[in-house]
């Protein structure tokens, strides 16, 4: 599993700024993301003005990779969105801060 970081405001295709591999606690992170609510929060504000964009890429043997991107305050994958979650907690699995 990789955490890919892109500079905010990059034109498509996004310019990869950093890629970090994760090999431990993958199931724990997957469960955390899958457990986030499917409905947007009503009274919460998301973290805006980020200097980077994040994508998490799950690789599976002999299957295509699954990419999840943090977009508009939610984690998006092929039309499915999970809202909320703590970006600091997600990026901490790779030992980095949310804005690195």
Residue 28 · residue 35 · CB < 8 Å:
no
Residues 6+ apart with CB under 8 A from 99: 50, 51, 52
How confident is the model at residue 17, as a pLDDT? 72
pLDDT higher than threshold 80 for residue 92: yes
Q: What is the pLDDT of residues 34-80, one digit of tens each?
A: 899 988 877 666 655 555 677 888 887 788 888 888 876 788 888 78
Q: Is the pTM of this model over 0.75?
A: no
Average pLDDT, rounded, for the chain: 77
């Amino acid at each position: 599993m990789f955490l890919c970081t892109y500079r905010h405001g990059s034109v498509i295709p996004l310019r990869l700024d950093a890629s970090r591999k994760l090999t431990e606690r993958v199931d724990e992170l997957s469960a955390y993301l899958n457990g986030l609510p499917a409905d947007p929060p009503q009274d919460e504000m998301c973290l805006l003005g980020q200097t980077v964009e994040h994508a998490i890429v799950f690789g599976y043997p002999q299957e295509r990779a699954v990419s999840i991107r943090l977009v508009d305050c939610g984690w998006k994958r092929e039309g499915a969105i999970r809202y909320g979650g703590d970006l600091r907690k997600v990026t901490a699995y790779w030992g980095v801060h949310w804005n690195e």
